[in-house]
């Protein structure tokens, strides 16, 4: 079976955005976030839209990085043969454009056009080719935009750059294509910037920051939340380990949790902490009493085994006893 390359551009760019922010000190008094006009989520494909399945002509001379992979991005057309514009089309463009370096820009673009010609008929073909031209124009314009908005770590500069990128997209793409290609990415960036603003607001305590960040996260579409949570929990693990290694206090750990994952998750983590402490206390007590039984002179092996079984049953539930036996290498 061929492997599939999955490309999530909004997640990649959001990670880069967080990276820029983390590379230098945050400003003491960040400017308030201005209202941001975000593209509306892409419209659902009509009920009669269907993915295309014509793949009877394999693409020749694929770059090594694409060997044994399937093209990322499902193309769809409606009942009239018009292209249904979704983020899948952008994934497909990026699937081929990611090979630039192995092949020339022109060769990568020609692969896209050849693939579209193989998969689509008119009018969808001309519509897809037009969107490809728009996308290539956009990528070139982003390079030029970088010189006018160099990467910086303060919120004002990041907000200005994000606003410029959104205006650029709106000037090149139709409203439908803008939403389909970039709506999720723009929502993700907006959350990232607003989260950084909350974290840098010295007028808020840890609980208030956590509640506001949780509210921001709850406002994201469900699929974005599902992508975001593993990233936040990975960041929490890393920062928690660093904090504890430096002798951080329980209050500092709680503040970190509140800021990263919010009050609900913090409560769950604190409950788990309590359960771990209680478990370790019971295990330590059992281990001490077990050692006394094992060291008691004059006890026959059968008596020792009976006393240990009784001790285990008094201290642990049945489902816990297997874990204790495994941990202590007990028969």
How confident is the model over 31-48, as pLDDT tens digits?
Answer: 333 333 333 333 443 433
**pLDDT band for position 60 (50/70/90)?**
low
Between CA 144 and CA 330 the distance in angstroms is 68
Q: Give tens-digit pLDDT for 72-92.
A: 888 999 999 999 999 999 999
Residue 273 has pLDDT above 80, yes or no: yes
Q: Parallel, antiparallel, or unpaired: how do β-strands 3-4 and 50-51 relate?
A: unpaired
pLDDT in tens, 105-148: 999 999 999 999 999 999 999 999 999 999 999 999 998 888 77
User: How do residues 180-217 score in pLDDT, each as one tens digit?
Assistant: 999 999 999 999 899 888 888 889 888 888 889 889 98
The domain spans of the chain are 3-202, 266-327
* Predicted structure pTM score: 0.63
Residue of 253, 105, 86, 259 whose CA lies nearest to 177: 86
pLDDT band at 225 (very low <50, low <70, confident <90, very high): confident
% of the chain at pLDDT higher than 70: 80
Q: For residues 112 and 115, what is the distance between their CA atoms, to the nearest angstrom? A: 5
């Amino acid at each position: 079976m061929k492997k599939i390359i999955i490309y999530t551009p909004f997640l990649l760019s959001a990670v880069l955005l967080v990276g820029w922010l983390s590379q230098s000190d945050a400003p003491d008094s960040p400017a308030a976030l201005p209202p941001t006009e975000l593209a509306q989520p892409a419209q659902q494909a009509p009920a009669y839209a269907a993915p295309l399945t014509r793949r009877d002509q394999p693409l020749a001379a694929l770059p090594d990085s694409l060997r044994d992979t399937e093209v990322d991005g499902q193309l769809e057309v409606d009942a009239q043969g018009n292209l249904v514009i979704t983020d899948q089309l952008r994934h497909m463009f990026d699937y081929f454009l990611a090979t630039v370096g192995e092949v020339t820009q022109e060769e990568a673009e020609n692969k896209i056009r050849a693939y579209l010609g193989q998969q689509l008929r008119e009018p969808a073909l001309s519509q897809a080719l037009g969107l490809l031209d728009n996308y290539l124009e956009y990528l070139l314009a982003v390079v030029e935009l970088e010189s006018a908005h160099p990467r910086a770590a303060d919120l004002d500069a990041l907000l200005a750059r994000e606003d410029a990128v959104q205006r650029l997209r709106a000037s090149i793409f139709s409203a439908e294509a803008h939403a389909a290609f970039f709506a999720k990415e723009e929502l993700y960036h907006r959350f990232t910037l607003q989260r950084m603003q909350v974290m840098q607001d010295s007028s808020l305590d840890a609980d208030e920051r956590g509640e506001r960040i949780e509210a921001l996260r709850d406002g994201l579409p469900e699929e974005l939340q599902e992508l975001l949570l593993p990233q936040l929990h990975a960041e929490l693990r890393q920062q928690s380990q660093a904090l504890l290694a430096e002798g951080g206090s329980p209050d500092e750990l709680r503040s970190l949790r509140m800021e990263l994952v919010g009050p609900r998750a913090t409560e769950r983590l604190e409950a788990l902490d309590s359960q771990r402490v209680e478990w370790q206390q019971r295990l330590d007590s059992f281990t001490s009493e077990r050692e006394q039984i094992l060291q008691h002179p004059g006890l026959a092996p059968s008596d020792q085994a009976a006393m240990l079984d009784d001790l285990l049953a008094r201290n642990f539930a049945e489902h816990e006893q297997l874990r204790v036996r495994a941990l202590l290498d007990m028969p």
